[in-house]
């Protein structure tokens, strides 16, 4: 008879809960693939889906260029920085098993699988930190993966979800360092998570370091022996991190160099959110782009808030874990620590990308609370009082609705009832079902609300459909690479149309868009968005001659964009004779750009063609 493995069972339960909840929330919002509403908002449709399409092409032996060069975008760009930023997650390879015209579904599946994996990893970690009821660890693992940051922000930035997985894995590596086990596996684990997504892995590494410090402070004996053991544990952990980052260096160095050569993005000053808004984001069904998505189900919030009142937990552990959670929460709002979390640069977009680390710390604190036994009435009342204070503070915010308050209030009540039930027999099963119901109800409602709010507040793009198919067919028929370039056209669907529908155009949108490309095309009259990092196609016979664009697709404007007027033009291809892709000019002074794009075009062409 097979042996029951609590950590494996907890991980499986957490993954199952997470998958079912995400799909239920998306179905409730009628979001793709469960309804007519697209989920390709913001950079998901503009960057991540096109780059995963590029990965599909490479996996199937298609596409112009390879791992080093991307000839499709920006008239030819380096691909290694984009690869290391967007596509080195092991989960990204899953897109290769889907048909190309189902790339949106492939990216959705990758997203859900990542969230389920994060839930499983956290559940496994919790039972590694301390023994306890496996089903409770499974529910808390699901609560971590279904935090507000995950369902509201990272769900349309799927590369960030690798950080959600990285935090429990790095904490597990910290446990190995503390106990002196698996010294070879730890650096390899660090390397994998840093390769998957270095940006969130950096934040997860900081969070795992804090967890390790608390573990060293609260575990073991006293005196000089404990101090020596702590120093050895920290040294082993530091060595694993440094060695792991060194192993990941072949991926990280091109990303760093690509960032140095990229067009500068938004350079802003951090402004902390109002505290009532911060507290309101703990509620289910709230949304705000410039506030931290702090939602965690009451399944995690109530035990975590009850921790300091739980007399069954040793005092040192109570105050150490509670202090860590409070300190991490305050660090979100303070400028110097904000910069530390974000590698000393305020990000372009949401300034609270480290919120998943706080969610993980709260879940670990909740597990410490329940692993020492059921919180008594005193602890539950104390934890409930903390949540009442949170609700009172959130009353000064406009982010929480009446529905948010109802969901928020119902969660702690049901959770308190479940935690008060005995831990064995049928009542234990009833407690597990009740806690799972609280988690699924609150998280699914939050997922559906976030789906609808993103569509209302952010730009969005239609999934692959008839428009892209017709455009791709036209490009394929006209393609003559490398004799000449075929531009998929200026009537774009996304900022990375050449990656989606083929061709070799000027359009390109990435965090690594080279500054020389943006400045050159802008000097020639090209448009741009995203503060210069999304350059657009140049529909001009002179620049087509300069860049050897021998075929150009024209089509109707994208009907999905509400600002586009109705347009019934057919898809057509315009051809012209152009010089070879590689031309040789006599040596001389490099042309300098002036204020006129017409004269700049003539300078590159080497001939006067305009009357200005």
The CA radius of gyration of the chain, in Å to the nearest whole number, is: 27
Q: Residue 362: its pLDDT value, please?
A: 98
Q: Between residues 350 and 35, which one has the greater pLDDT? A: 35
Rounded Cα distance, 73 and 507, in Å:
6
Average of per-residue pLDDT across 166-193: 95
Judge whether 480 and 550 are in contact, CB under 8 Å: yes
pLDDT classification of 230: cutoffs 50, 70, 90: confident
Tell me the pLDDT tens digit for each residue of 383-428.
999 999 999 999 999 999 999 999 999 999 999 999 988 766 677 8
Q: Residue 583: its pLDDT value, please?
A: 66
Tell me the pLDDT tens digit for each residue of 11-47.
999 999 999 999 999 999 999 999 999 999 999 999 9
Does the pLDDT at position 1 exceed 60? no
Does the pLDDT at position 220 exceed 70? no
Cα distances from 457 to residues 25, 121, 365, 453, in angstroms, run 19, 33, 34, 6
Q: Residue 227: its pLDDT value, please?
A: 82
DSSP string, 10-78: HHHHHHHHHHHHHHHHHHHTTBTTSSSB--EEHHIIIIIHHHHHHHHHHHTT-SSB-SSEESSSTTSEE
Domain map of the chain by residue range?
Answer: 6-457, 466-605
Rounded Cα distance, 41 and 39, in Å:
6
Q: What is the mean pLDDT of the chain?
A: 93
Q: Residue 229: its pLDDT value, please?
A: 84
* Residue keyed to tokens 């067919």: 473
Rounded Cα distance, 194 and 190, in Å:
6
Q: Residue 589: its pLDDT value, please?
A: 67
Q: Residue 222: its pLDDT value, please?
A: 66
Partners of 78 in the β-ladder: 69
Residue 420's nearest CA partner among 297, 306, 512, 270 is 306
Q: Residue 89: its pLDDT value, please?
A: 97
Q: Residue 219: its pLDDT value, please?
A: 81
Residues above pLDDT 90, as percent of the chain: 85
How far is CA 232 from its chain centroid? 34
Check: pTM over 0.85? Answer yes or no.
yes
Q: Worst-scoring range by mean pLDDT, 7-16, 45-54, 553-562?
A: 553-562
Pairing of strands 460-461, 485-487: unpaired
Tell me the pLDDT tens digit for each residue of 459-485.
999 999 999 999 999 999 999 999 999
Q: Residue 582: its pLDDT value, please?
A: 76
Measure the CA dihedral 98/100/104/106, to 10°. Answer: 20
DSSP assignment letter at 150: I
What sign for the dihedral angle of Cα 346, 350, 352, 357?
A: negative
Tell me the pLDDT tens digit for each residue of 472-529.
999 999 999 999 999 999 998 999 999 999 999 999 999 999 999 999 999 999 999 9
- How do the residues of the chain divide into helix, strand and coil, expressed in percent and rounded to 5? 60, 5, 35
Lookup: tokens for 103: 């790339």
Does the pLDDT at position 237 exceed 90? yes
| Bond from prior residue into 482 cis (ω within 30 degrees of 0) | yes
Q: Residue 4: its pLDDT value, please?
A: 81
Partners of 552 in the β-ladder: 487, 574
Does the pLDDT at position 590 exceed 70? no
Average of per-residue pLDDT across 137-155: 97
pLDDT classification of 587: cutoffs 50, 70, 90: low
Q: Residue 366: its pLDDT value, please?
A: 98
Tell me the pLDDT tens digit for each residue of 249-265.
999 999 999 999 999 87
Does the pLDDT at position 201 exceed 80? yes
Q: Residue 484: its pLDDT value, please?
A: 95
Q: Residue 562: its pLDDT value, please?
A: 82
Q: Between residues 58 and 346, which one has the greater pLDDT? A: 58
How far is CA 495 from its chain centroid? 19
Q: Residue 584: its pLDDT value, please?
A: 63
Q: Residue 416: its pLDDT value, please?
A: 94
Lookup: tokens for 66: 């390879």
């Amino acid at each position: 008879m097979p042996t029951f493995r609590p950590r494996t069972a907890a991980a499986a339960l957490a993954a199952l809960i997470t998958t079912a909840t995400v799909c239920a929330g998306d179905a409730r919002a009628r979001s793709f693939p469960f309804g007519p509403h697209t989920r390709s908002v913001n950079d998901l449709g503009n960057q991540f889906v096109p780059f995963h399409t590029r990965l599909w092409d490479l996996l199937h032996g298609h596409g112009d260029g390879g791992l080093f060069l991307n000839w499709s975008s920006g008239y030819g760009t380096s691909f290694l920085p984009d690869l290391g930023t967007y596509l080195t997650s092991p989960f990204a390879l899953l897109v290769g098993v889907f048909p190309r015209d189902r790339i949106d579904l492939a990216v959705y599946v990758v997203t859900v699988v990542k969230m389920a994996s994060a839930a499983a990893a956290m559940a496994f970690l919790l039972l590694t930190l301390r023994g306890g009821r496996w089903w409770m660890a499974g529910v808390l693992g699901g609560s971590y993966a279904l935090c507000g940051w995950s369902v509201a922000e990272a769900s349309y930035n799927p590369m960030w979800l690798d950080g959600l997985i990285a935090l429990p894995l790095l904490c597990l590596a910290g446990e190995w360092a503390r106990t002196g086990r698996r010294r070879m596996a730890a650096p390899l684990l660090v390397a994998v998570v840093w390769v998957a997504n270095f940006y969130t892995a950096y934040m997860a590494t900081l969070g795992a370091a804090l967890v390790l410090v608390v573990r060293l402070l609260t575990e073991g004996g006293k005196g000089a022996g404990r101090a020596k053991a702590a120093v050895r544990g920290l040294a082993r952990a530091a060595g694993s991190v440094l060695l792991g980052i060194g192993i990941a260096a072949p991926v990280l160095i091109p990303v760093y160099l690509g960032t140095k050569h990229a067009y500068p993005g938004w350079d802003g000053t951090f402004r902390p959110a109002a505290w009532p808004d911060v507290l309101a984001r703990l509620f289910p069904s709230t949304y705000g782009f410039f506030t931290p998505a702090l939602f965690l189900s009451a399944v995690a919030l109530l035990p975590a808030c009850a921790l300091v009142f739980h007399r069954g937990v040793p005092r040192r552990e109570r105050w150490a874990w509670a202090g860590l959670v409070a300190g991490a929460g305050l660090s979100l709002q303070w400028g110097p620590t904000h910069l530390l979390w974000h590698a000393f640069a305020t990000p372009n977009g949401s300034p609270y990308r480290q919120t998943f680390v706080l969610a993980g710390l709260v879940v670990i604190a909740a597990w410490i609370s329940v692993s020492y036994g059921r919180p008594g009435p005193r602890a539950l009342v104390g934890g409930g009082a903390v949540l009442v204070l949170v609700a009172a503070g959130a009353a000064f915010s406009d982010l929480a609705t009446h529905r948010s308050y109802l969901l928020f209030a119902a969660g702690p009540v049901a959770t308190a009832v479940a935690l008060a039930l005995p831990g064995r027999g049928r009542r234990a099963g009833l407690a597990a079902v009740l806690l799972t119901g609280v988690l699924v109800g609150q998280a699914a409602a939050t997922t559906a609300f976030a789906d609808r709010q993103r569509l209302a507040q952010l730009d969005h793009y239609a999934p692959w459909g008839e428009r892209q198919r017709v455009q791709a067919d036209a490009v394929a028929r006209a393609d003559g690479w490398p004799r000449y370039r075929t531009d998929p056209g200026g009537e774009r669907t996304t900022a990375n149309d050449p990656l989606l529908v083929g061709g070799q155009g000027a359009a390109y949108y990435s965090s690594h868009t080279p500054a020389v490309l943006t400045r050159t095309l802008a000097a020639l009259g090209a448009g741009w968005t995203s503060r210069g990092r999304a350059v657009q196609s140049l529909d001009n016979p002179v620049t087509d001659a300069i860049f050897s664009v021998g075929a150009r697709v024209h089509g109707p404007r994208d009907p999905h964009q509400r600002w586009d007027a109705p347009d019934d033009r057919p898809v057509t291809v315009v051809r012209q004779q152009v010089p070879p892709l590689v031309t040789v000019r006599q040596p001389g002074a490099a042309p300098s750009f002036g204020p006129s794009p017409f004269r700049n075009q003539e300078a590159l062409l080497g001939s006067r063609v305009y009357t200005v």
